[in-house]
Structure 1
Amino acid sequence: MTSGAHPEPDLLTRIDLCIAAALESGALQPIRTEQTEVVERGLRFAVRWVSSLARKDAARVDEVTRRKPDFNPFLPPDPALTVGPVGEHHLAVLNKYPVIERHLLIVTRAFEAQTSPLTLDDFDALAAVMGPHGGLGFYNGGADAGASQPHKHLQWIPHGRGLAAFTDHLADMEAGEATALGALEWAHLFVKLDAGLWQRPQPGATLREVFAQACRRLGLDPAANPMPPYNLLLTHDHLLLVPRRCEKWQDISVNALGYAGSLFVRRPEQIDELRAVGPLRLLAEVARTGA
């Protein structure tokens, strides 16, 4: 750094500066939502839906979920939504239609398929964001796992309860221990992470190995190309892997955030449908059954 130069702002500051400019230009178009809580077997789920005061946002939801095979918004990403580089191979990009504040996409610079294996570079990029800032990292492994774009992108949100909707009900776990939560009737695996992991020089390599081990425990090949559908969720404390079967139950789409206790419905009347079936049954319907 030259004398008198200012240090580069941290990631959250850069995100907020990018958000402010993108809101002013109209490049960022948040989806305003209302929220309620649904509790089943002591597990708490946050359910969001498009606000009745902002029904025009329904068109934005349709834009998110309408898959256009010939359109790639990440090649290149909109400069107004691009926060900056994350390592050599990824860019941090704002979600154009966020439901959650500061929702960040970690996008490969060159095209890779969302169904291709997660690489060391991918975990390094995610660790570069999560190491200093915590939050929840997640990945939708293909369309059947809730991915709306075929270009590889990991995702991150900086706040919320992380995986606490489920991990609060786990017995105490030692670092490296892997277990399933008995109340959940779908194939999944929680792995307890070493508390010192994030202070190490290259946490991405460890995360990749933990992920690979979890895949093998659930009968997935972490090097398969294409990978079968799955959701990966990651906090400073836990890794969660959920093999998927399909994207939707009826007309309710589920991505990785569903397995963090956060569900989204397009219309208020779908809340009654969700309450009737129960969030646990809904999540089981779209996940692979069995251990």
Structure 2
Amino acid sequence: MGNLIWHDWARFVSITASVYAVWAGYWGIFYRKFFWDFVGGIVRDPGGLQAPASAALFINVIVKIPLIQIFVMLHALFVLALEWPLPLMKNLSIYRSIVVRIVLLVSQASIAILFYQARFLSHVRLPRSYETALSSGDLLFFPSTVHKHVESDIEFEIRLCPALQKKPKLPTPHFEPSVPAGDGGNRKKDDPFAPPYIPALFVGELRDDEEGDEYVVLLNKYSVVPSHFLLVTKELKSQASPLFPCDLVQTYLLLLAARKAGQSFFAFYNCGDRSGASQHHKHVQFIPTENGDGPPIETLARSKRLESDDKAFSLTQLPYANHIRRVPSFTLSTNRSTLEETLSQTFMMLLDLVISTVRHDPTHPPGPPSYNVILTLEHMHLIPRKCDEHVLKETGERLGVNALGYTGMLLVKSERELEAVKREGVLGILSAVGLPNVHEKQIRTKAWEVDEHGISCM
């Protein structure tokens, strides 16, 4: 009886291990990484870990083509057929062989450890990382209160955070379309996103296996909203550069991963020196929302009735220029090329409209256009900018405005500033740092080019 119990226990362990191997191989196809790339690897600054040349074979059969993952799945399915067993297997001699089982299980385990068997996405680690960083003192949280302010039937959220008055004032960043890497010591001094990273703020790494671009996910050191995190390029890239296809894909995948985990986030990007950006190293920011409706601007965008969802549109009730396009419903299993093509075309379409809007404004400062990008699972927004600050008429104080302001979420540092913003009007402030809404004029002048992808500005 004892031998029978041990035999069944061993069989169940074998079945469990094989089911896990199938599952690991499946996800390993989507998230490809050679597990042992750190052996003999080179740490680049910037760039992170680079696999050694000796690992080229494994990179080819794991990352470029997921042969190992597929083989592990087939191998595990064979073990399951043997242990379950399938009726056909009972008639084979290997079904009664302990040696065959040992060889199969050992080989299965040996091959499976060649690739990462699980993908610990940033959203899984985020709550734990946030609490750890907060308790260690590496993350500074500034308590705040949200004040609802209705203006033109739009409910804005003005967040009052007096503690921000004590936040160290950051030097004005220098924005260039391309930036030199520089030496490690000076770069770390000028770039808070350069390695080595503060361990408590480091959430994880991401790699775009199609393009090879690498990113790190970091918690925002100065946090007003819990779990505010950043997607930062490992390589030093300029915040004045547009979002590239791989940037858009990784950003959207994080939003999808958060939704799968039951959390609601939106992303925003401040591009250029008049966008409200505070750092020159390229980074996309993510903010959670208390409800699943997203930021206030999403309520307006969602309510817009369109003849076709593949065309760009503007919320014409807003006095400042805004360009929006609906994003189709995607999931984590959506083909990457489809996701990249859709997001890239959407971004370029809206960027064309931003440039067209700038050309319609003779008072726009010279130089490359600055703009804000807001990305949710449903919409992409681009808002052209004229300046990054607004001088409040009542107090003479300078109010910085970045993409969050255009989501309908403005940040103030004092009661006095709060009342001044309410009296002057949020829409007036956003209009002052943005550009006039010339959507109707663009239509009247027939500056549209209709193609198979939708509408883009000529």
Corresponding residue for residue 325 of structure 2:
191
Choose 1 or 2 for highest CA Rg: 2
What's 2:156 paired with?
45
Residues 5-37 of structure 1: per-residue CA shift (max 9 Å, x gap)? 995544223111211221121101011112211
Q: Which has the higher contact order (CA 8 A, sep 6+)?
A: 1
| 1:139 aligned counterpart, secondary structure | strand
- Please give the alpha-carbon distance, in whole angstroms, between the structure 2 residues aligned to 1:271 and 1:165: 23
Question: Residues of 2 paired with 1:268 and 1:259: CA distance?
Answer: 21
Same amino acid, percent of matched pairs: 27
Distance verdict in 2 for CA 1:219–1:10, change over 3 Å: closer
- 1:67 partner amino acid: T
From 214, 239, 250, the equivalent of 1:89 is 214
C-alpha deviation, 1:123, in angstroms: 1.2
Q: Which moved more, 1:188-197 or 1:208-217?
A: 188-197
Match of 2:409 in 1: 262
| Cα distance change of structure 1 residues 277 and 173 upon mapping to structure 2, 3 Å threshold | farther
**Alignment size in residue pairs:** 281
Residue 249 of structure 1 contacts residue 285 of structure 1 at CA under 8 Å; is this kept in 2? yes
- 2:449 matched to which residue of 1? none
2:252 maps to a residue whose letter is: A
Residue 22 of structure 1 corresponds to 133
After TM superposition, the runs of 4+ consecutive aligned structure 1 residues lying more than 6 A away are 3-6
Give the drift of 1:165: 4.4
Per-residue deviation, residues 81-136 of structure 1 (Å, max 9, x unmatched): 11011224111110001111211110000101100122122112212201222421
Correspondence for 2:192: 73
Which of 411, 416, 426 is the equivalent residue of 1:279? 426
Deviation larger for 249-258 or 12-21: 12-21
Equivalent residue, structure 2, for 1:34: 145
The code of the aligned residue for 2:275 comes to A
Give the aligned partner of residue 274 of structure 2: 144
Aligned match for 2:227, one of 93, 102, 105: 102
Task: Identify the residue that residue 251 of structure 2 maps to in structure 1.
Answer: 126
For 1:207, the aligned partner's letter is L
SS state at 2:374 partner: strand
Alpha-carbon deviation of 1:194? 1.2
Cα distance, 1:249–1:169 mapped onto 2, change above 3 Å? farther
**Structure 1 residues 86 and 220 mapped into 2: Cα distance closer, same or farther (>3 Å)?**
farther
The change in CA–CA distance for 1:180 and 1:105 in structure 2 (over 3 A counts) is same
| RMSD (CA atoms) | 2.4
Structure 1 pair 196/6, CA: closer, same or farther in 2 (3 Å)? closer
Contact 1:43 1:165 in 2 (8 A): no
Letter in 1 for 2:380: L
1:230 lines up with 2:371 in the alignment: yes
Letter of the structure 1 residue corresponding to residue 140 of structure 2? Q
User: Is contact 2:318-2:437 (8 Å) kept?
Assistant: no
Q: Which has the higher helix share?
A: 2
Secondary structure in 2 matching 1:171: coil
Q: Are the structure 2 counterparts of residues 213 and 84 from structure 1 closer, same or farther at C-alpha, using a change threshold of 3 Å?
A: same
- What letter corresponds to residue 267 of structure 2 in structure 1? G
Q: Is the 8 A contact 1:44 1:165 kept in 2?
A: no
Report Cα offsets for 1:45-82 as digits up to 9, x if no partner.
1001114xxx4x4222x44x543666210012323211
Q: Which residue of 2 aligns with 1:216?
A: 352
**Conserved? CA contact 1:186–1:287, under 8 Å:** yes
Q: Report the TM-score when normalising by structure 2.
A: 0.57
Can you give the 5+ residue segments of structure 1 that lack an aligned partner in the other structure? none
Q: Structure 2 unaligned runs (5+)?
A: 1-23, 25-108, 175-188, 208-212, 260-264, 358-366, 392-397, 439-458
**1:211–1:8 CA distance, 2 compared to 1 (3 A):** closer
Q: Which of residues 285, 296, 299 is equivalent to 1:155?
A: 285
Q: 1:198 and 1:278 mapped to 2: Cα distance? A: 40
Shift of 1:198: 6.0
